[in-house]
Amino acid sequence: MLRSIILLLLLFLLQLSTAKAESLTLGYFVLGPHIYANAEGQAQGPLPEFLTEHIGPSMGVTFNLVNMPLARILKTMKEGQIAGAALFGHTSARAEDFSYPSNSYISMHPVITVLNQHPLTQIESVDDIANLSIGYVKGAIVSPFMKSNDIVFTEIYGNNTWERNIQRLLKGHIDAAYSPIYANMSYVAGKMNLLDSIRIIRLPEAPMKLYSLFSKHKNFKHLALAKRYDRAFERINGKALYQKIYTRHYGSINSE
């Protein structure tokens, strides 16, 4: 009898724990190799695995990842329609509207990409790329080096932006393509079988960090998600774990 009561109590506690688990939506834009959508539109890659199988359970939440354009993620997060975003670079402007955790899971190094026949082979100063027409994904982070008034950006937005930016380069619609992440440019160009047709040039600046981030809207502010993320990250040794997951997906982690 006592054994049955204990079993029923354990089942009740388990159901109670499950019922209390929060289900939260994180928006994401495709940024290979870290995160992309499969044919069914489901998030794939090392970052979804990291968030849904490790960070989320350690926070006591279930993350639902929804693919949407970058600008829409920021808008819906600010309006309190979604709890957060899977990945973004840090800017002071975004920090006013959103809550960044202290912990970053990986660094990124900004690059400029040109066609192989282009005379540009290295970049030492803004003068080297001044007045070039540079393709840029609207809303993506602009690294400090690229904030010069001499930089001429040609914006693109919507879905499949990284692939479309390289296609614009191939068609001669732009002189160069910008990405804040070396691994992203290399990954996308590789998928398109174009690595032999382009030259990826690192910009002369320090790497930046990638974060998940969370809404400050009243719908979510009371949940203290950024603080809970940090506690979970440190509990599971998130930086080392992410590198381990990335390596399992792609081999040795790309040095940004």
pLDDT at 252: 65
pLDDT above 70 (res 101): yes
98 or 251, higher pLDDT? 98
Q: Which residue has better confidence, 7 or 191?
A: 191
Contact 214, 83 (CB under 8 A): yes
d(CA 67, CA 73): 9
| Helix, coil or strand: residue 47 | helix
What is the tens place of the pLDDT at every residue in 238-249? 999 999 999 999
Q: Any bridge partners for residue 211, and if so which?
A: 88
pLDDT at 18: 42
Cβ neighbors of 3 (< 8 A, separation 6 or more) are: none
Whether the bond between 69 and the residue before it is cis, its omega within 30 degrees of 0, is no
What is the average pLDDT across 43-70? 97
CB 254 within 8 A of CB 183: yes
Residue in the block written with tokens 């930016």: 165
Tokens for 25, please give them. 């939506």
pLDDT attached to residue 51: 98
Q: What is the tens place of the pLDDT at every residue in 111-158?
A: 999 999 999 999 999 999 998 999 998 888 899 999 999 999 999 988
**pLDDT digits over 137-147, tens only?**
888 889 999 99
pLDDT at 251: 81
pTM as predicted: 0.83
For the chain, the C-alpha Rg in angstroms (whole number) is: 21
Amino acid at 121: T
pLDDT tens digits along 199-237: 999 999 999 999 999 999 999 999 999 999 999 999 999
- pLDDT exceeds 60 at position 27: yes
d(CA 248, CA 209): 21
